[in-house]
Amino acid sequence: MGKVWLLVFGIFLLNSGFILCDDDPADAEEDELDLNEIAEENDVLILTDANFQNAIADNEIILVEFYAPWCGHCKSLAPEFEKAAGILKENDPKVTLAKVDATVEKDLASEYGVSGFPTLIFFKNGAKTAYDGPRSSDGIVSYMKERADPSWKPPPDLVLHLTKANFSEFVDTAELILVEFYAPWCGHCKQLAPVLEKAAQGLQAFDPVIPIYKVDCPKESDLAREYEIKSYPTLKVFRRGKVFDYTGTERTAHAIVSYMENERRPPSTEVTSLSAVKKFMKTDDVTVFAFFKANDAAFETYENAANELRSDYDLGHTFDREAMTFYKVNAPSIAVFTAENFHTKHEQKYHVMPITKDSSVEEIRAFIAEHSIPLVGEYKTSNRATRYRGKYPLLIMFYSVDWSHDGITATQLWRRKLADIAKDHRDMTFAIANEDDHAELLKGFGFEDSGEEINIGILNELANKMPQEESKFPMPTFDSFDSDEIREFISNYKAGKISRKYKSQPVPKKSKAAVKTVVGSTFEKIVGDKSKDVVIEFMFSGCSKCKEFAPKYTALAKQYAKLQKNLVFAKIDNTLNEFPEAFLVDSFPSFYMVPANGDLSSPAKFSKEEELTPEIS
């Protein structure tokens, strides 16, 4: 029997590129030449990762379409694009049209920031510019002829660089700006770049203009450290030098413009009378409201906090004494009011925090966050990343939530029944959710085909969040609401008796492939097989290093198949499946080993530096 170190050495050799190969180098050279050839279809070049750069270098002016075969807009564009290609190839100077299947050439699409289909980019002397012209053949021809003119120059970038030398000059005096902290090699940053440029164009319409800047973090490491940048890209909002987190969840140009437009408004609405305060109180969401005396020194502290919280809540404040008397609140204070629709007899109607000019933004934020969700609130796509972030374990009851006049009675009936249970489990968070708004989450729990009126599941946080965000624990389906069954489910969950549901691709057909494909639902069975030593690769389809390594990994698996029958080589797509969180994946490809009679809670991770010596049984 071999030793684990031998296997590690084999993987080390593969990662280093040293592996015996029977292929004739001449054949490889011939294959490479074939890959670099550029095919043509209806006057449109067909580009791949292998020939893309050659095509850009060989064509002074080239318009490239990144498309997906299933995309309806791409199908509509195809005949217009081909017609334009036939006309433009006769233009002087010649304009070449080309296309890339982005579902196949994923790395190429990622490199050029393709996030939707079709995406068109034109290159002039190698310099790329986003295409924002018409999608008809005549429009494409006219647009590209104008840009082919030798006198045409691309418009200047609106998103400009900041450095350590000029950062304070621009940031400290600006009323409102958005800054992207990025790395040139980051794929997500490349995808965001054209989005930010388009958003910057939209923000030109405001008076005053809201600028967008960017910081190259590897070059400007001092700025990255100062602002505690831990991932790329990171967006920050600045107001006269004060920094605030960008909390928008969508990364589209429209969403960024809308977010920054909201940032222009006062962070808190002043309400001037008791009747107006009553109207401001929400019936369907939490209300955060502050009370002050005239010229109160604590008001500036509140405003600073409000600027950070403005995206999560509608905030209001008043200097009206009658309102303070009515709500029995002393100024200066902040109160968090439970929405009328969500208040129950088991909780206070509102919570009050006295503040002073020395109160910190963190204290105010923590107070509001603690009381921003009721005993049983509503989990929505709009609040899951804000109100319910970190509120684990989170039990969600899915059903048809309807707040209309006809539906509110049934909605409240189920919610109040759940509240009677929630009051006894204050160490958990409880919420209802409209099943029609959470198809993906229902699927994650395995409820998509349950057919039941009510489904219940628990979400919990994971230490390993790449790509998994939350673990899911479904309650077995039941015919009708039964408080005792739900209480038992909660008790079993707390005792660790409820099995986790793993996101999974369909189970693949049986195969004699040297490398076994594992999915979420088969992970424990295959990788946790007590009779086998299992090496598993964590990869994803768009990973270029994974593709490069695949034939080498298969070769190693075939070599060991002849030597050790109880040694299994496997792989799993990290982006489409979930697995036990002990398998921490922080780069691709990553490799783990679980020996026979081993434990899935303590797998061994392979690295070039690691030396493992236990016997393979």
Q: How far apart are CA 383 and CA 380, in angstroms?
A: 5
Residues 6+ apart with CB under 8 A from 363: 353
Report how far apart, in Å, the C-alpha atoms of 125 and of each of 56, 330, 426 are: 8, 68, 64
Give me the percent of the chain exceeding a pLDDT of 90. Answer: 55
Q: Which of these ranges, 347-351, 376-380, 459-463, has the smallest mean pLDDT? A: 459-463
Greater confidence (565 vs 258) lies with 258
pLDDT in tens, 140-177: 999 999 999 998 888 788 899 999 999 999 999 898 99
Long-range pairs for 459-463: beta carbons < 8 A, 24 or more residues apart: 459/392, 459/393, 459/394, 459/396, 460/392, 460/393, 460/394, 461/390, 461/392, 462/581, 463/581, 463/584
**pLDDT for residue 245 is more than 70:** yes
Answer for the pair 163, 217: CB distance below 8 angstroms, yes or no.
no
Predicted pLDDT of residue 525:
92
Q: Which H/E stretch holds residue 395?
A: strand 394-399
CATH fold for the domain made of 159-264: Glutaredoxin (3.40.30)
Q: How far apart are CA 560 and CA 565, in angstroms?
A: 8
Give me the percent of the chain exceeding a pLDDT of 70. Answer: 91
Greater confidence (586 vs 372) lies with 372
Of 97, 120, 108, 103, nearest in space to 69 by CA: 103
Mean pLDDT of all residues in 601-608: 80
Mean pLDDT of all residues in 490-496: 96
CATH fold for the domain made of 516-612: Glutaredoxin (3.40.30)
Q: Phi/psi at 320 (nearest 5 deg)?
A: -80, 120
**pLDDT for residue 23 is more than 90:** no
At 607, is the pLDDT very low, low, confident or very high (cuts 50, 70, 90)? low
Predicted pLDDT of residue 390:
84
At 612, is the pLDDT very low, low, confident or very high (cuts 50, 70, 90)? very low
At 231, is the pLDDT very low, low, confident or very high (cuts 50, 70, 90)? confident
pLDDT in tens, 287-319: 999 999 998 999 988 988 888 888 778 899 999
Predicted pLDDT of residue 157:
84
**Helix H segments across 463-543?**
483-494, 523-527
Predicted pLDDT of residue 437:
93
**pLDDT for residue 5 is more than 90:** no
Report how far apart, in Å, the C-alpha atoms of 523 and of each of 401, 511, 566 are: 35, 16, 17
For 270-372, CATH gives 3.40.30.10
DSSP assignment of 113-153 equals T--SSSEEEEEETTEEEE--S-SSHHHHHHHHHHHHSTT--
For 378-495, CATH gives 3.40.30.10
Predicted pLDDT of residue 35:
47
Q: Which H/E stretch holds residue 107?
A: helix 106-111
Is the N-terminal amide bond of 589 cis, ω within 30° of 0?
A: yes
At 37, is the pLDDT very low, low, confident or very high (cuts 50, 70, 90)? confident
Residues assigned a catalytic role:
71, 74, 186, 189
Please give the DSSP secondary-structure letter assigned to residue 563. H
Q: How far apart are CA 537 and CA 533, in angstroms?
A: 14
Greater confidence (238 vs 262) lies with 238
Calculate the average pLDDT of the chain: 86
At 7, is the pLDDT very low, low, confident or very high (cuts 50, 70, 90)? low
At 36, is the pLDDT very low, low, confident or very high (cuts 50, 70, 90)? low
Predicted pLDDT of residue 448:
87
Query: Which pairing describes strands 533-539 and 590-594: parallel, antiparallel, or unpaired?
Result: antiparallel
Is the N-terminal amide bond of 154 cis, ω within 30° of 0?
A: no
Predicted pLDDT of residue 385:
76
Q: How far apart are CA 308 and CA 239, in angstroms?
A: 11
Burial of 442 (0-12, 13-18, 19+ CB in 10 A): buried
At 616, is the pLDDT very low, low, confident or very high (cuts 50, 70, 90)? very low
Place of tokens 């939350």: 470
pLDDT in tens, 373-424: 999 999 998 888 778 888 999 999 999 999 999 999 999 999 999 999 999 9
What is 40-148's CATH number, 1.10.287.950, 3.30.70.560, 3.40.30.10, 3.40.630.10?
3.40.30.10
Predicted pLDDT of residue 162:
94
User: 322-335 burial, b if ≥16 CB within 10 A, otherwise e?
Assistant: ebbeebebebbbbb
pLDDT in tens, 83-118: 999 999 999 999 999 999 998 888 888 888 787 889
Of 584, 517, 515, 495, nearest in space to 556 by CA: 515
Q: How far apart are CA 359 and CA 562, in angstroms?
A: 70
At 25, is the pLDDT very low, low, confident or very high (cuts 50, 70, 90)? very low
Of 81, 78, 97, 80, nearest in space to 89 by CA: 97
Greater confidence (12 vs 455) lies with 455
Greater confidence (211 vs 387) lies with 211
Mean pLDDT of all residues in 424-432: 96
Predicted pLDDT of residue 12:
45
The answer for 446, left when phi > 0, alpha when psi is -120 to 50, beta otherwise, is left
Answer for the pair 577, 538: CB distance below 8 angstroms, yes or no.
no
At 567, is the pLDDT very low, low, confident or very high (cuts 50, 70, 90)? very high
Predicted pLDDT of residue 314:
82
pLDDT in tens, 494-518: 999 998 888 888 999 988 899 999 9
Residues 6+ apart with CB under 8 A from 322: 273, 274
Please give the DSSP secondary-structure letter assigned to residue 393. S
Burial of 243 (0-12, 13-18, 19+ CB in 10 A): middle
Kindly state the tokens that stand for 196: 């930010």
Q: How far apart are CA 173 and CA 31, in angstroms?
A: 58
Kindly state the tokens that stand for 521: 């639902």
Domain limits, CATH 3.40.30.10, in the chain: 40-148, 159-264, 270-372, 378-495, 516-612
**How many other C-beta atoms lie within 10 A of the C-beta of residue 488?**
13
Predicted pLDDT of residue 466:
43
